[in-house]
Amino acid sequence: MDVTSRFAAIMAGPEAATPLDEAALLVAAAVRPELDVAAEQARLDELAAAVWAPRLDALCKCLFVELGFAGDADDYYDPRNSCLDQVVERRLGIPITLSVLLLEVGRRVGVPLVGVSMPGHFLVRDKLDPDVFVDAFAGGAVLDAAGCEALFRDLHGPGAAFDPAFLRPVGARAIVARMLANLDAIATARSDRPLLERVVRLRTLVPGAPAPVHRRLAEVLASSYRFGEAADVLDGLAAADTDDAGGDALAARRLRARLN
């Protein structure tokens, strides 16, 4: 399967119909291109079969107590923690991948949940009771809005400004974009150029990806001496009349001049 083409097709459809599990596994396939996405979806089905009741408490007890899923506080930036298949395999992850696990197993058993992209720590919110939040990284701990704010201040400092909008639900595209941004940072820190290119290319395919993400792809391509491809990316931005279309067109011309 061509991961990039399939990811592009998923992202091109209506957001409400976006299969979050498949999209997250395609992100993981950027790390392990040999990944069998269908087989990993079947593993999620198996996890759902272990949940004995379509209730949030049963779902959390099954995943975080009986099956032992937990946050990886020892090696948080291990790239495996950003890959849903490896989270299922190792039963370790970071807030966003453990939350995707909770969302997708919950969807399979009929527990209606939504993701919450709070800065610094992804959470899950109960659709039926919007005052109930779950911290998947903390073993499925249940929080209210005040608890979420306290967690935010623990992460960012007591003087950090908290906006209630941080607790609004987000869709699949925002979740996937955040997962990819995490992997972008990890690949950069590890100087893993092939992974970085795959990840940044996927970032550009998420609808609404800002111009700086496209410029980042051009930068990554140019760093591998692929000046023509980098110029094509910048020409695309210039044609879209972005915030700096003239600058993008000039940068593209300069890259093409390096082909001579």
Asked if 129 and 24 sit in the same domain, the reply is yes
Pick the last residue of a domain from 153, 170, 187. Answer: 170
**Residue 113 DSSP SS3:** strand
Residue with tokens 């527990």: 111
Mean pLDDT (the chain) is 95
Residue ranges making up the domain that contains 215: 210-257
Cross-strand pairs, 125: 114, 133
Per the structure, the count of domains in the chain is 2
Asked if 236 and 129 sit in the same domain, the reply is no
Q: How many residues does the chain have?
A: 260
Paired sense of beta strands 92-93 and 70-71, if any: parallel
| pTM reported for the whole predicted model | 0.94
Asked if 63 and 165 sit in the same domain, the reply is yes
Asked if 27 and 156 sit in the same domain, the reply is yes
The CA–CA distances, whole Å, from 162 to 72, 145, 151, 156 equal 26, 11, 11, 10
The 10 Å Cβ neighbour count of residue 231 is: 24
Asked if 76 and 141 sit in the same domain, the reply is yes
DSSP state of 62: I
- Tell me: the pLDDT tens digits for 73-128? 999 999 999 999 999 999 999 999 999 999 999 999 999 999 999 999 999 999 99
Q: What percent of the chain has pLDDT over 90?
A: 92
Catalogue the E-assigned strands of the chain.
70-71, 92-93, 113-116, 123-126, 133-135, 141-143, 169-170
Q: Are 79 and 97 in contact (CB under 8 A)?
A: no
Residue 175 lies in a domain: no
